[in-house]
Amino acid sequence: MLSVSRTVAAVLVASFGAVVAHLAVSAVMGDLASIRGSFVVALLVGAIACIVGLVLVLPVLLLVPRLRLLPWWAAAAWGAAVAFLATMLIVGPTMARRTGSAMAVLGAASGLTYVLAARVLLYKQRAV
């Protein structure tokens, strides 16, 4: 079982997955107009992903320890669902239709990053 402190660390690391996914999606779509603009937006995406992870995901992981080591596909689906929910809470249902799918991709990337971080931290926890 992954310890509480390592679970918190994995949730914090998961926000980097959203940032990388944002930069990758922006690059593919040709939306990286300037390095400065993309850096500011990437920081904003990372901050929002971190806050959403700490507020909506971490309490569930602390209450249900079995969920700390989900399979990758379940973590990606959960991340996408949480990101879509957070988008609806932040911008409302009408705007969520336009931005919801993009946010779901970022949430899925965040969930996958959480799984990788949790597995590495569990391996290090067992090695100690």
Q: What is the per-residue DSSP string for 35-85? A: HHHHHHHHHHHHHHHHHHIIIIIHHHHHH-GGGGG--HHHHHHHHHHHHHH
The whole-model pTM stands at: 0.88
The model's pLDDT over 36-73, given as tens digits with 9 standing for 90+, comes to 567 788 889 899 999 999 999 999 999 999 999 999 99
Domain boundaries, the chain: 4-127
pLDDT per position as a tens digit, 80-126? 999 998 888 888 877 767 677 888 899 999 999 999 999 999 998 88
CA atoms of 110 and 108, how far apart (whole Å): 5
CB 83 within 8 A of CB 52: yes
